[in-house]
A and B are shown apart, each in its own frame.
Chain A
């Protein structure tokens, strides 16, 4: 049977194991990322991570560690600067482009340039080895633990920042802590889907989950579940069709997001407009 045959290969077992770890982490972290309206931060951290990964490759270190170092520093920086970055989209965009450019320069001096660049930009889940899986697990477990501990004040600060501040929540500390967790999740995501497709696992499943349920615990479960399903199915599709895994995962992520919007577009369910017309108080 096709389903079990693919698991006879080491690289397939490794791919599924890595995808499982990364999908659960990014599904859960992504839920808060989308809730807070910070989806763009995931994108920005991935760009910065590219420079770190390319630098690590040049130094002969595993790219994961370069990614982790660059994204964590950038995440903490973005969190600490906070409001100072608001409305600075041009400056941020320029900085992100520069970070991709610098990454390109690093890879220019590396001999296996093209392979490595493609792997970083678009991911290469089929090349994940056993030590990388252990590294992914070692980063994911503390990230999830930190997210669990901080999730209640994080939710409070996301829903009602001024009230949370008055009740004793430090908004700055929440922001820095959360963005460091996002940075780790982003670094992990790059291993599976690459720098340019981080949205596929971090944002797609979470956004679909928020269309499907109005409750936080259910939303977290749906987000992680969708991310898992999309990653597994994507790898399986890759095996059957020989299309790139990252393409398959991105197509599934988009499909889930679009399908999740269908129920609310159907007639009969109150939309924002009809509710406004209803004018109840």
Chain B
């Protein structure tokens, strides 16, 4: 636990709760250099407040993992950055400007749903549909458009998926195509919503490695939401933890600690390190077994920290 755990940590070393009022407000520096910058932002979804008075900044070119239980506001935060959800309060800047819908500098990979339309279409058509997809006209691409699709497919190593129908692709292969879609338009900020959902451990790791490689090559800022920290370990620059309406940001060593997470949830949390992996335990409960029961399956002994906290921080 160090004092750099968040923007607010300088004034309240033991309480790195980014932007929370009770910690005393320290505004993040209001520059144009940050990829995203939030000042006391409150976000609501369906009339319920999911994030309250949150302040933090994403530095340009960093890979930030966003963790937190279901309903913590991970998707809502991304939708706010995309200009799809207005901030109830506070100020939000993305790439130096207020969020506007249709900003081509922001790439977005929504949570994939099993039964998307066009499952019989080829991988290439799936990616091509995004190129200038918001403009009126016929769905035919010119040479520049086709080159853009080739580029995006090459970035994710997906040339071999181009001619196969989506129906025939594995979950990991589909994630590569979804990433290629998000890269269309050459964004500077990439928002990836739960790309590891329903992948096994091996595929989770290769998706994280792929995103990291693409992020470094294109010098993008990446916000990557996940249920579980372990697949991201080693590739993250910083971690943004949402819970109980609050946010904490910092390196893994700074944020994923008992005191920080306990404060975030308002209940005792223990963090256990086992052979290079991190497990988040809630209080005295056998959180692993609890998570197993709620989740129905475990992956390689990894523990879904999100599920374990569901009953504490359902906001």
Contacts and interface: CB of A to CB of B under 8 A. Distances in A.
A162 B113 CA distance: 11
Interface stretch (B36-44, B114-122, B284-292): B114-122
Contacts of B168: 270-272, 275
A164 interface: yes
Contacts of A214: 120-122, 125, 163-165
Interface string A11-51: 00000000000000000000000011100000000000000
Interface stretch (B54-62, B100-108, B223-231, B307-315): B100-108
Contacts of A149: 136-137
B274 interface: no
A162 B170 CA distance: 21
Interface stretch (B22-30, B126-134, B214-222, B249-257): B126-134
A53 to B, nearest CB: 31
A168 interface: yes
Interface in B158-197: 163-165, 167-170, 172-173, 176, 181-182, 185
Given A158-B118, A215-B121, A281-B202, A169 B137 contact: no
Secondary structure at chain B's binding surface: helix, strand, loop or mixed? loop
Which of B82, B109, B121, B136 has the largest count of A CB atoms less than 10 A from its CB? B121
B117 A35 contact: yes
A3 B123 CA distance: 43
Interface residues of B, number: 49
A276 interface: yes
Interface residues of A, number: 38
A211 interface: yes
Contact of A163 (B117, B130, B167, B170): B130
A275 B129 contact: no
A167 interface: yes
A152 B133 contact: yes
A48 B121 CA distance: 32
A5 B133 CA distance: 49
Contacts of B83: 166
B125 A215 contact: yes
Given A158-B118, A166-B108, A152 B137 contact: yes
Interface in B31-52: none
B170 A152 contact: no
A160 B137 contact: no
Contact of B117 (A159, A168, A211, A217): A159
A33 to B, nearest CB: 11
A281 B203 contact: yes
What are the nearest 9 A-B pairs in CB distance?
A: A168-B102, A156-B133, A162-B110, A214-B122, A281-B172, A275-B168, A158-B117, A159-B129, A166-B82
Given A156-B129, A167-B102, 16 more contacts: A152-B133, A153-B134, A158-B129, A159-B117, A159-B121, A163-B110, A166-B79, A166-B84, A167-B101, A167-B104, A167-B185, A215-B122, A271-B168, A281-B172, A281-B203, A281-B206
Interface of A: 35-37, 148-153, 155-156, 158-160, 162-169, 210-211, 214-217, 219, 270-272, 275-276, 278-281
16 contacts: A148-B137, A152-B133, A152-B138, A153-B133, A158-B129, A159-B117, A159-B129, A159-B130, A162-B108, A164-B133, A166-B102, A214-B164, A215-B121, A217-B140, A280-B173, A281-B202
Interface of B: 79, 82-84, 101-102, 104, 106, 108-111, 115-118, 120-122, 125-126, 128-130, 132-140, 163-165, 167-170, 172-173, 176, 181-182, 185, 202-203, 206
